[in-house]
């Protein structure tokens, strides 16, 4: 049986690593908060009433972050290749 505690244990490393994500227990369930400094308008919250909702919310956050990292890595590699081609590096 899936429980909130199992979900929290599963994502413990991710939550410790990602400084933009916080999960808080409330009387209605758990709330996933997202806040990215210094972009003060980039605040988001999602109420998760069931462990399954929390699991999905954290999974979506984790994947979105990894996709963004991959995108930036590809851009960096493309720029690096251009520098090597032009001999400016």
pLDDT in tens, 71-84: 778 777 777 777 77
What does the pLDDT read at residue 89?
A: 55
- CB atoms near residue 21 (< 10 Å): 21
Q: 3-state DSSP: the chain helix, strand, coil percent, rounded to 5?
A: 55, 20, 25
What is the span of the domain harbouring residue 10?
A: 4-86
Question: What pLDDT is recorded for position 26?
Answer: 96
Going from the C-alpha of 70 to that of each of 9, 18, 59, 75, the distances in angstroms are 26, 16, 16, 9
In this predicted model, what pLDDT tens digit does every residue of 29-81 receive, in sequence order?
999 999 887 777 778 899 999 999 999 999 998 888 777 777 778 777 777 77
pLDDT, mean of residues 9-36: 93
Quick one: tokens of 19?
């400084």
Number of domains in the chain: 1
The model's pTM is 0.73
Number of alpha carbons in the 13 Å side-chain half-sphere of residue 81: 6
State the pLDDT at residue 6: 95
Whether pLDDT at 87 is above 90: no
Residues 6+ apart with CB under 8 A from 11: 23, 58, 62
């Amino acid at each position: 049986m899936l429980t909130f505690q199992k979900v929290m244990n599963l994502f413990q490393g991710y939550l410790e690593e990602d400084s933009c994500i916080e999960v808080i227990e409330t009387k209605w369930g758990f709330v996933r908060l997202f806040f990215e400094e210094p972009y003060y308008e980039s605040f988001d919250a999602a109420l998760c009433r069931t462990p399954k909702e929390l699991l999905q919310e954290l999974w979506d956050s984790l994947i979105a972050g990894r996709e963004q990292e991959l995108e930036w890595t590809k851009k960096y590699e493309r720029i690096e290749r251009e520098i090597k081609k032009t001999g400016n590096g």
